A and B are shown apart, each in its own frame.
Chain A
């Protein structure tokens, strides 16, 4: 379902250019749970952003659910991010001015879902992550673990088949980290495809398969 063929990504800054990915080919099946590992600067975040349609490759072919991503417009990519992919970031990336409820509701709003459907879905998600009682709080009033659970609820809002997690436990204490990993494992068992970037071996142990990147290439 995710198929990358010879992906290259070059960043240009003035006269200098940096090749972050040097021809990555990767196939991720539906329902797989994979970890992308590698040292800093190996290109794992860049790969993750390309898979998540946040960035486009300089060269190579990316097919997502038999759609060629290269041919999609800005708004079409936005729609893909909205419906097919859920993001979980290391630093949560919640909107600081919005309440927990509003943060979770936002992807539904962008998708044009009706008020009734949104209300049902947000309540369901907040109950699932155990934060329904915290719905009126803003991110600054929540602990790191709680914020990440809100971020997870938001990622699941439109019930996307793919979840992308970029160092999801990186900013959390070990207990909160374990809680998040339990939820991710549970979601995988329910049939979601999960792609996770980490450099923590204990965290990557939750996944089925580990892809190692080094210097912009996949290690065999």
Chain B
């Protein structure tokens, strides 16, 4: 029969619940806003990571440039070009590089089924797919080593090229004509987020085996060298090695920043991730402060509730309530209100996040909505939130409760 005192408390609470509604709402609102704040923060930084890996993971891209310093009697202003032999040259000398891949480029007329478009065409090797996140759609594949070895006339195309030339039809197995030479489509790029690019989004590009590309293209030099270091921590070292080695070969100063075009996405993404980490921390701090304000608000309301119930406490004390009973009642009420407000706040935040995630994001124009419309609801954050706020609310309930239990019954009875 020990349950009867809590049951009495429950009855009293139910009769008073309209007055508790304000506190419940404050907790509901606080929970909702903090969870949303953190969900958006996390969503943004995750989207940033995803979109950056649209270009590729841990990549250094080298292009030719122009010497800006005199070197061993050679004048400045000399163009520095890259050639296909450089791939083998660098592979032999940079053991810290996991992959080194060439990329040639030209802009050609491409036609199929009577339609003609002008598109960027690239010649490269199988490993390019791994370095630049080239994932084929179902039923297709990227260029492989055999394609390169045998000089096969095959092409891997972006989803926009597929749409422009074939509409809704499946292009795989069909023929396209590039620079008057027929090629067979072997795969279409799967849609992806891509916020960094060099010759336009991958959706608009066509990829051929490096060997096949060389057959239809007269130039000997290559456009770009992609290097993937063994690990991101080696990116700086690898970059410096390339400058020194190519500087030795083509006779320019390794310290010449303009002799080679170097795009080190690892360093870029470090910076970008730092910014987003910063935003996440910032949102976390705002969330923390909101939490604190919320707790102060709840404390305030609890004090008001105790004050309002001073007379009632006096009556209970007069008819023999012990201190423990008064404290118990306040703590139980506070924790119940807390549970109720937090529960509904959780439900609301969870649903809002998942509703927002239903909104479509346009992959071609990678705009602000891709960052904003993909919030992530984290259960871990919610659990941490419940623990922290639970402690704050418990404290904000215990102090008014202690005060109430220590009150002089006579003064409480006189209170109007």
* Pick from A81, A97, A114: contact of B16, CB under 8 Å: A97
**With A49-B410, A115-B1 in contact, is A93–B315 under 8 Å at CB?**
yes
CB-CB contacts below 8 Å: A57-72 with B: none
**With A55-B410, A102-B8 in contact, is A83–B323 under 8 Å at CB?**
no
A98 to B319, CA, bound (A): 14
Question: Across the A-B interface, how many residue pairs have beta carbons closer than 8 Å?
Answer: 72
Q: B319 touching A97 by the CB < 8 A rule? A: no
CB-CB contacts below 8 Å: B321-360 with A: 321-325
Assess whether A173 is interfacial by the CB under 8 Å rule.
no
Nearest-Cβ distance from residue A124 to partner chain B, whole angstroms:
18
Closest 9 CB pairs of A and B: A82-B320, A97-B15, A110-B320, A107-B319, A75-B322, A81-B320, A54-B409, A93-B315, A115-B1
Not counting A93-B311, A102-B11, a sample of 12 additional A-B residue pairs whose C-beta atoms are within 8 angstroms of each other reads A54-B317, A55-B410, A75-B324, A78-B323, A79-B322, A89-B413, A95-B12, A95-B316, A110-B322, A114-B1, A115-B4, A158-B320
Sampled A-B contacts (29; CB under 8 Å): A49-B410, A52-B318, A54-B317, A54-B318, A54-B413, A55-B408, A75-B324, A78-B317, A78-B323, A81-B317, A81-B318, A81-B320, A83-B320, A93-B318, A94-B315, A95-B315, A95-B316, A96-B312, A97-B15, A97-B16, A98-B11, A98-B12, A98-B15, A106-B8, A107-B319, A110-B319, A110-B321, A111-B320, A115-B1
Q: A78 touching B322 by the CB < 8 A rule? A: yes
Nearest-Cβ distance from residue A204 to partner chain B, whole angstroms:
23
Q: B319 touching A87 by the CB < 8 A rule? A: yes
Residues of A within 8 Å of B4, CB to CB, are 109, 115
**With A115-B1, A115-B4 in contact, is A54–B410 under 8 Å at CB?**
yes
A176 to B312, CA, bound (A): 25
Residues of B within 8 Å of A107, CB to CB, are 319-320
CB-CB contacts below 8 Å: A104-123 with B: 105-107, 109-111, 114-115
Q: B323 touching A75 by the CB < 8 A rule? A: yes
Assess whether A192 is interfacial by the CB under 8 Å rule.
no
CB-CB contacts below 8 Å: A3-53 with B: 49, 52
Residues of B within 8 Å of A98, CB to CB, are 11-12, 15
Assess whether B98 is interfacial by the CB under 8 Å rule.
no
Q: A95 touching B312 by the CB < 8 A rule? A: yes
A residues apposed to B, CB below 8 Å: 49, 52, 54-55, 74-75, 78-79, 81-83, 87, 89, 93-98, 102, 105-107, 109-111, 114-115, 154, 158
Residues of B within 8 Å of A55, CB to CB, are 408-410
Residues of A within 8 Å of B5, CB to CB, are 109
Q: A87 touching B322 by the CB < 8 A rule? A: no
A97 to B14, CA, bound (A): 9
Residues of A within 8 Å of B324, CB to CB, are 75
Instruction: Please encode chain B, from 1 to 38, with 1 for each CB lying within 8 Å of some chain A CB and 0 for all others.
Output: 10011001001100110000000000000000000000
Q: Which of B312, B318, B325, B408 lies at the interface centre, i.e. has the most chain A CB atoms within 10 A of its CB?
A: B318
* Pick from B15, B319, B322: contact of A106, CB under 8 Å: B319
Residues of B within 8 Å of A102, CB to CB, are 8, 11
A211 to B16, CA, bound (A): 43
A105 to B15, CA, bound (A): 17
Residues of B within 8 Å of A49, CB to CB, are 410
A95 to B324, CA, bound (A): 19
Q: Which of B312, B315, B323 lies at the interface centre, i.e. has the most chain A CB atoms within 10 A of its CB?
A: B315
Residues of A within 8 Å of B316, CB to CB, are 95, 106, 110
A97 to B15, CA, bound (A): 6
Q: A79 touching B315 by the CB < 8 A rule? A: no
Residues of A within 8 Å of B15, CB to CB, are 97-98
Residues of B within 8 Å of A83, CB to CB, are 320
Q: Which of B312, B316, B318, B320 lies at the interface centre, i.e. has the most chain A CB atoms within 10 A of its CB?
A: B320
